[in-house]
Amino acid sequence: SLSKWNFDVFEISKIPGVESDEVSSTLLFLGWAIVASPHSQKAMSNSIDISKGNTSSDNESVEMSNGYNFVTKFNFSPNTLCQFLRSIAADYVRENPYHNAIHASDVLQTTHSILQLGGLAFSSGSLETYSVLLAAIIHDVGHPGKNNAYMMNTFSDLSIRYNNISILENHHLALAFSRLLGARRQRDLDILGGLNPHDHETARKIIVDSVLGTDMSRHFTSIATLKGRLDSLEKNSSAADPRSEWKGEEALFVLKFILHAADISNPAKKFFVEWADLVLEEFFAQGDAEMMHGLPVSPLCHRKTTGRAESQIGFTNFVVKPTFEQLARCIPAIRNEVLPTIEKNLSFWSAEKCKEDVEGKEVEETND
């Protein structure tokens, strides 16, 4: 199921032909399956029936009332969505070990999963939900495989263009919206083209705010804001379920925060080791480049001093776990669905750290 927390995006990427040399189709497939639902499910059901030799139209088991139904509500065709997804996927850098279209696919599916776990309660309607899912699709498009600190320290063109303010996040947004707005607008892939001016402006603002919210420099402020709102609500509310009182901007804050949580969710997943190795590979490549340029090596980017297990324990304990603990206060299903996996993964890394410590001492004794 696409809404399953531990959905295996790697399995999709390994299907023959999905990851070609030209473009990633993992994002195309998952984007179409999720955003075009239930039309995508209907199409897949038709295809299965035809492949089995069933040419009748008796496939109404796929109810058109299920799924988001954005295609009908926002007046775009599945083909327009597919053109958009192909275009965005092509601008994700395939050479990046981590920040590539497979990561984007995972973040999209995870955002969808959190929404289905209860996050939809914080959406005032389909437009907000649609916007957050689109933000997930584009949130790292054009990522160069180096972080904002590297952009600033090397005085890159992007750092100059965006004045050192959420450099990469602004870049992702500009790259995506250049297809949908202005002189370079491509009407054949404009998935916002069917919106009226007010809804278009609303969708764009939500997408922009959501992607900017993935800037890790904003993380602790966002967590503190969410915790403060939750503490205040629980203290002052007389409602049986204080979440029912979240309206307007407060509810929208949680909805946008869901994308940030999805973006850092790998340590809370079944395939946490695979993701950890990919992100460290990318970090170490940045550290190598920083040393080559005589720059300070960014945290977790020095391949000789960064401990694999220790890096994951620290990131999980100080960033990931607090994020999902606060989100669980908003979406109770997360408490049983996600938090136990985090604890299990931390136990794994603790055991790995013990092994690494023993191996390190053995190397020291050998050298002595």
Residues acting as catalytic residues: 99
Dihedral sign, CA of 313, 318, 323, 326?
positive
**Secondary structure (DSSP) of 208-237:** HHHHHTT-GGGHHHHHHHHHHHHHHHHHH-
Question: In this structure, are residues 104 and 141 in contact, taking their beta carbons and an 8 Å threshold?
Answer: yes
Taking the C-alpha atoms of residue 219 and residue 216, their distance in angstroms, rounded to an integer, is 5
In the chain, how many H helices and how many E strands? 18, 0
| The Cα angle at residue 257 between residues 213 and 312, in degrees rounded to 5 | 80
DSSP letter, residue 266: G
DSSP category for residue 125: S
Tell me the C-alpha distance between 143 and 94, whole Å.
10
Distance CA 225, CA 185 (A): 36
CA distance 65 to 69: 8
- Token pair listed for 204: 């764009």
